[in-house]
Copies of this chain bind each other. A is one copy, B any other.
């Protein structure tokens, strides 16, 4: 049984193929291959951040706030592709964990500037290391060249 408030994070979905099943057209679709690959990536991410309650959007938020101190919640939401209300909930979570803080924006009294706390900086540094390590292992069977090719093609795909 899971204590409701504990840092647990989501459970990774299985990526294993079921033997004896015909996957038909799915095997020719980029979209489906992307989904499977992303499940594997999520699995690696989950292992890297186990126990911290960190999810991909939360990690992204930490990185973005860390690299762009003082940005507003609205901008954070746009970066993450979520609504303002969602960006606020996400920020609430970071603030509650004392990883980030809202400071009054010097030039706009409607908005906050977001900053990492020392604790946030430190956690982010740790996370960057482990996430990068697990992301590297992700292409376990991929050579460094293949990895770079994949990265380039993915980026090109997303325009």
Contacts and interface: CB of A to CB of B under 8 A. Distances in A.
A127 B44 CA distance: 32
A154 interface: yes
A38 interface: yes
Contacts of A56: 31, 35
Interface residues on A, range: 35 or more
A68 interface: yes
A138 interface: yes
Contacts of A18: 75, 78-79
A30 B115 CA distance: 26
Interface string A47-87: 00000000010001001101110010001001101100000
Contacts of A22: 64, 67-68
A131 interface: yes
B15 A64 contact: no
A67 B23 CA distance: 7
A91 to B, nearest CB: 16
B79 A40 contact: no
11 contacts: A15-B159, A21-B71, A25-B63, A28-B132, A28-B151, A31-B56, A31-B138, A34-B38, A34-B154, A36-B158, A142-B157
Given A21-B67, A30-B154, 8 more contacts: A14-B78, A21-B79, A24-B66, A25-B128, A28-B151, A36-B154, A141-B156, A142-B157
